[in-house]
Each structure stands twice: as C-alpha cells, then as structure tokens.
Structure 1
C-alpha cells in the first residue's frame, strides 16, 4: 500500500545502496512526552552515536522541547527530529484490524521511523525510559563492541510509578526483558503481531541480555497510562502479562493498596530532590542485586 504522501513510504537504506556508518542510533517514537523528556533525552544523547525522535501528533510541545534539549546538550548535529502526521491504531484490536502497510499501522509507523537510520545498529527506545549512569556506560560500550556481530541485545527495565515529586513505587516483581538493540538489515524489520508490532530477527542471532538496573520506565499515577490500548480487557491475554501487571499495580496504588502488592517498593526522596532523580542517581545504583528474585522474570 502506498502512503498518501510518498514521503511516508518506507525506503530502507540498503534498497538504495546507501552507506551505513559504524555506530548505534536510538529511535524514539513519541506522542506527548514533554513531561518525561528532561529525564529521558539527555542520558540517551550521551549514550548513543545518533538520536532520531519521531513525533506523532503531540499537543504538548514535545518536538520543540526535544530540539532545545539536544541544543543544550551540545548534540544538535547528532539529533534528528521527524514528524509522523497520521493517527496510529491503538494496540490490541485496532492494531489487529489495521493492514500492516497502512500509514495508520504501528508496523508501518515503526518501519518508516527506522528507515531513517544510517548506522549499522539501531535501538528502539520509548519516551518514558530513563537511563542510569551505568546504562549510559553499557550503551557506549555496546556501540562499538557489537559491530559485525549480528547480535541482538535485550535490556531489562523496571516500571517506576511516580505519585508526586517526593514519592514513587518501583516494581521489582517482574523483570521484563525485551530486545531493544538490533543490526540494521533486511532480516531485522518490523512485522505485525496480534497486539502490536514485533521486530523480527534470524533464529541464529546471538541474544545478549544486559544487566538489571540500567533503566526505569516512568509511569505517572495522575495520567492514563493505557490510553494507547483498545480496552484493558485485552490484558487477559497471556501474551500481554506485562500490561496486566502494570494495570494491577496502578489500580492498587490508586486505591491505597501499594503495600499489598508483592515486590512493589515505596521510595521517598530526600527534601529538595525529585524522586525520579533520587531513584536513577542514588536508589537504583545502590540497590541490592539481583533486583528481581529468580522465578519472577518474564520475557
């Protein structure tokens, strides 16, 4: 299916013989992430060789804020901001009913976004995921160590629900392990799955799992974290156990039952320090390993 505007057709660099430079490009696909960007973008600009941020119809100034942050970090030459102007189907039934080559499909959106990468490796990253200093170091090392390996890298992330500036709850009941870093090539594109898009890779690819504690995924108790889903009843599927756990955590916190959820930990920041900064800079690096106990790990 051809896009309404040819600029949104997917043109992979290898199809045109475009040269690929050694390095790692981080690709964000975001909508209304201005609240998170001050924590999310600076560490990624420090970690990756290139950053591409694709804004999908934000109404909160996400795109402009991202450009300003890149300039403040002295990284404007390594930052590229793009816009994707189409409504994208929500995960779940809407996604399933949308043809994968439609501009409204998550699959097409992701492939179009990643088709702008010009380095040999690319990384999917979300607009609510914050790297620690250890995470920055790991990604810097991987940027050159992965070259020529064809390996895929999975990075555990730990959901952090922020109640207010001084209080948050970190979920260590599950270690969600998802591949985030892939080589660029015809065997590593996005395809349609039942609830969302999936990046394919050859069965022969080595899979590397990064250490725990490199990244937290920000959740805000005062926002609807499930608006991108076509109904929370989708969480009954075994395939989406991560979302089911997130829904259970948020429901418990809103009802004041956080202490009743196993492996959900309340964190209070010292006066004058935002709880996100406290968790990323102090609490998480000092936390006892393993963060997630054996038997509570989900791929």
Structure 2
C-alpha cells in the first residue's frame, strides 16, 4: 500500500466516482486516482523517484534534492540492497521526514525496450502504469521526474529553488541537461561532454500531463502550446559505476542510432570505458579529484562550476 504520510496540506477527499484508472489485473489497492480529482493541489514542486537498488547512489542524490524542492516522493520497486532503508536514514539524518513520502510498488515492471512494447499500458507490470501510479502520489501543483542516480550540482540546487516559485501558474515544462559521469574509482571519473543529453523533467500536474506508452519506454504528454524552458548546462550529473551493468533494465541493447541516439551513445561510452579505451571517445573528459575528496563531491561541488561554457561541444546534428 502507498504511504499516506504527506505533509503538503490536509488529506483531500477521495473522488466518490472511484479511481481514475484501474489496472487490468484487478489489484484495487493499486488503482490510480489523479491528485487533482481529490482536491486542490498545494503550490510547490515535488520530486518523484522511481527506484530499484539505488542504495549506493542515494547518499549523494537525496540531500541536494531535499534542499532544492518542497517534497520528495520515493517509490521503491522491489529493491534488494536496502534502498528504502538508506532513503529513510538520509531523510531522518537531515530532519526532513515531514517532507518525504516513502512508498513501494511491489510488481515486477517490464524492462524498457521489447518487454515494455509487449506489455499493455493498463497492466501493473507496465512502465506507463507504474509511472502514472507513482506520480499520483504527488499533492503539489508541479512535479519532477528524477532518477535515483542523478545528483544535483550546487548550481542545480539554486536553480530548482528559484523555479519552485517562478513556475507557479505558468504551465511551463522544464528541460534540464544532464551529464553522464562514469565512475572508475573514488578519485577518477569520466564525464561525457561530447553529446547533449536533454529532456523534459519538470511538468505541471493535470490531465494533460500524464504518461502514455511509447515504443521503448513511457512518455509524459504535454500540450503543444506549453512553454518550454531549458535550463543551463551543469545542473546535474548522472552516476554510472563501471563495476555495474548499466543496461540491466533493458530487454535489448540493439539500439538504433537514428531513433535512439542517446542510448546508442551511452552504450558506446560504457563499452569503451569498460575496455579501458576512454581516451578514444571524442567528448569524454577524465576528471581526477584532489586527495581525500570523492570524485562525485568534487565534480558536483567544484569542478562543474569552474568548467568553461559551453560544456558540451558537439554539432547540432548529434544533439537530442
């Protein structure tokens, strides 16, 4: 069952008409009722994490996010590494449990790619349904999709603090560039600054901003008239540990370089670094932190702010 511990205002009335969406398996505890159908939404921005086995990353990921937004929802999808316990400990240590909702989604979710394509969107095993259920836990007017391996820089924290009130009533959608960071050791990492990784992350909450099924993954809809805001580079890094399989959540890695260029680039970089060929890939930058400073802390706290702009230098035809 979803946690009812949410501090963003009083518990709203449940729509007497019943759930907005029912799942095909008949798990009524996991039917979906849209938050805007329960009552007025509270001003502010909620970050929604959908995670599985992210305990290693959360000590870096959660603290800056708690600093940046009004509320955090973390949905644990069957982790076996203590992800939920780590998240709860971080929130307790920071004294922000009143701004944190920790809940679980116990169903096995289809992996991106072929498995997702062949799973009905109203199934509890569908990425589409999982995302809609997760975002139905939001009670604020704006929500933010975020991954359990993405760390805000100091500039990113400041930006989100400002956006949380600037977006109020605007209806705008916000796209944030991210920079993949492959971690070789505690002191060495490789930043991919040879490809522009850009996608929308922040949306208003409402019936025009729900998730629908696409070929490889879920997609959040938004009206073509929505203003699109693109933030500067250097706001966040995406952690990729070279001792882990970065593509375990994919049912196939036969990526089309035309239709899915972002994933093709990620696979190219992962293979090159795994084989010790990082210097052969255009746009990969090796970063070494000072003694006694973890490379993640160094990049997000110092290196990124000092790096010359633009960070990504690549022809427009290679951007997404």
Cα shift at 1:109: 0.2
SS of 1:236's partner is: coil
Mapped to 2, the partners of 1:162 and 1:284 lie a distance apart of 15
Corresponding residue number in structure 1 for 2:267: 247
Tell me which of 170, 179, 202 is aligned to 1:181: 202
Tell me which of 25, 35, 42 is aligned to 1:13: 35
Cα displacement string for residues 116-138 of structure 1 (whole angstroms, at most 9, x for unaligned residues): 11000000000000001110010
SS of 1:164's partner is: coil
Mapped to 1, the partners of 2:207 and 2:162 lie a distance apart of 25
Cα displacement string for residues 71-90 of structure 1 (whole angstroms, at most 9, x for unaligned residues): 11111000000100000000
Corresponding residue number in structure 2 for 1:268: 288
Corresponding residue number in structure 2 for 1:227: 248
SS of 1:276's partner is: helix
Cα shift at 1:182: 0.2
Corresponding residue number in structure 1 for 2:256: 236
Deviates more, 1:24-33 or 1:5-14: 5-14
Cα shift at 1:9: 0.8
Normalised to the residue count of structure 2, the TM-score between the two structures is 0.91
Q: Is the 8 A contact 1:36 1:127 kept in 2?
A: yes
Mapped to 1, the partners of 2:195 and 2:314 lie a distance apart of 9
Mapped to 2, the partners of 1:4 and 1:84 lie a distance apart of 15
Structure 2 residue 74 is the aligned partner of structure 1 residue 53: yes
Structure 2 residue 217 is the aligned partner of structure 1 residue 196: yes
Tell me which of 162, 184, 191 is aligned to 1:141: 162
Cα shift at 1:147: 0.6
Corresponding residue number in structure 2 for 1:206: 227
> Is there any run of 5+ residues in structure 2 with no aligned partner, and where?
1-22
Query: Considering only aligned residues, what root-mean-square deviation do their CA atoms show, in Å?
Result: 1.0
Normalised to the residue count of structure 1, the TM-score between the two structures is 0.97
Q: How does 1:31-180 map to 2 (within 5 A)?
A: 31-180=52-201
How many aligned positions are there?
Answer: 297
